Amino acid sequence: MNGGADLSGKWDGVYAYPPVAEAGPVTPFVAEIADSGGHISGTIIEPNEFRPETAYATLEGARSGNRVDFLKIYHGAGEEYDEPVAYAGSLSDDGNVITGRWIMAEWSGPFEMVRQIEVKLSAEAAVEAEV
């Protein structure tokens, strides 16, 4: 499926820092992706490591076969988030998991994203579920 997979939708992700004392924690994020013929764009929200608030970012990149590459740019999250982050990953055969590495200046680490699967019930099944 991955050759023509459409990445549009919501994805739950997590990224980790290298194992050094000054590195940040493993960080969860949620991405909303729009895939238009292999060009991907979207938004990311995640906890702000330096302030008690949410960090917001946009993403722009490309999908080709099982390869997924994008650049994450933070907006208004503080000077600690001024540097863009490049992500390079591989899409699983079922099109529901992206794994790879992120890189920013001298920092790099692994990431994983899992597609949020929406379960659509038929009207009949929804009525049975309510009973």
Please enumerate in sequence order all residues whose Cβ is within 8 A of that of 23, keeping only pairs 6 or more positions apart, or say none. Answer: 17, 107
Q: Is the pLDDT of residue 62 over 50?
A: yes
pLDDT of residue 2: 47
- Burial bucket for residue 55 (CB in 10 Å: 0-12, 13-18, 19+): buried
Q: Is the pLDDT confidence value at 117 over 90?
A: no
Location of structure tokens 């459409």: 6
What pLDDT shows up at residue 97? 98
Query: pLDDT tens digits, residue range 20-59?
Result: 888 888 999 999 999 999 999 999 999 999 999 999 999 9
Domain membership of residue 33 as a residue range: 2-130
Question: How many independent structural domains does the chain possess?
Answer: 1
Reported confidence tier of residue 129, pLDDT bands at 50, 70, 90: low
CATH code of 112's domain:
2.40.128.120
Among 58-72, 84-98, 104-118, the least confident range: 104-118
pTM of the full predicted structure?
0.86
For the chain, the first-to-last Cα distance in angstroms comes to 37
Report pLDDT for 21: 82
CA distance 121 to 125: 6
Query: Please, what sign has the CA dihedral across residues 93, 60, 54, 50?
Result: positive
73: DSSP letter: E
CA dist 60 and 113 (Å) reads 16
